[in-house]
Amino acid sequence: MKNRIPDEVLKEMFPKKLNRLQSSDVVYAQLKKMILSGKLKEEQRLRREEFAQIFGVSETVVARAFSQLKKIGMIIIKPRVGSYVV
């Protein structure tokens, strides 16, 4: 896959899965950190399913985090197309 996030980057950022008590705020903070650090590149596609699996949360939780990132202009969400880093 062209824009897949390298496994070593994911393992560095997320050494273990989140527990159920942690929410979209934690996912949001980690994704924001990855974007600001350059680990997620401009125009890179972000897949809810992939991050839900990485974090061990539902896609709904990831969608909420994506929505927060969109509000601050870090990603764009194109309906029926995907979410991308700005």
For 49-79, how does the pLDDT look when each residue is reduced to its tens digit (9 = 90+)? 999 988 888 999 999 999 999 999 999 999 9
Asked if the structure places residue 1 within a domain, the reply is no
Q: What pLDDT, on a 0 to 100 scale, did the predictor assign at position 64? A: 92
**Is the Cβ–Cβ distance between 19 and 54 less than 8 Å?**
no
Averaged pLDDT, 38-46: 94
Q: Beta-carbon neighbour count of residue 9 at 10 Å? A: 13
**Domain residue limits at 24:** 7-85
Asked if the structure places residue 24 within a domain, the reply is yes
The total of structural domains in the chain comes to 1
Q: Does the structure show a pLDDT above 60 at 82?
A: yes
Instruction: Return the sign of the alpha-carbon dihedral for residues 46, 35, 33, 1.
Output: positive
Asked if the structure places residue 77 within a domain, the reply is yes
For the domain that residue 47 is a member of, what is the CATH number? 1.10.10.10
